[in-house]
Amino acid sequence: MRTIGIADTMFARIDLGRLAEQTIKENSDSIKVIRCTVPGIKDLPVASKKLLEEQACDLVIAIGMPGKMPIDKQCAHEASLGLIQAQLMANRHILEIFIHEDEAKDDNELKQISINRAVKHSLNAVDMLLHPENLRKKAGTGQRQGKENAEPIEI
């Protein structure tokens, strides 16, 4: 049985970890999910690395919702760098799902972006572990998580 870890934060305004877990369970009965919730976005790298190393997860989804202020953007960038470093150290993937509060004009749009991004990345995680050929079929097709897909450019 394969295992996906989910690291999420209390700082987020939507329970995206629950949504990711639900999406994975609805789309695969052969993947176990282990969830770890931490206070804030800068706690995600160590939580993700611990899920990979101590819980033997095959892949981790790291979910956070940075705020609107410049310091929040800086913290998100630092967390992102930490997630990249954790991936390289563990030699396993950590899918970063950050939804920035200023991506949306209001809470309803923020909710829609969040749901779209969390669900699509959770499905990507399932495909990465069980059906990598599904990702290959989508190469160069302008797939987006959170917003409308971009138009592919044919060569």
Q: Give me the pLDDT at residue 59, please.
A: 98
H or E segment and range at residue 33: strand 31-38
Check residue 111 and give its pLDDT.
Answer: 96
pLDDT of residue 144: 86
Write down the pTM of the prediction: 0.93
Average confidence score pLDDT of the chain = 95
Whether the per-residue pLDDT at 148 is higher than 90: the answer is: no
Query: d(Cα 32, Cα 34) in Å, to the nearest integer?
Result: 7
| Structure tokens, 27 | 């789309």
pLDDT at 130: 96
Out of 3.40.50.960, 3.40.50.300, 3.40.50.620, 3.30.200.20, select the CATH number for domain 2-137: 3.40.50.960
Separation CA 39–CA 13 (nearest Å)? 12
Alpha-carbon distance of 95 to 60, in angstroms, equals 6
95-104 burial, b for 16+ CB within 10 Å, e for fewer?
A: bbbbbbbebb
pLDDT value of residue 116: 95
Mean pLDDT of 82-99: 97
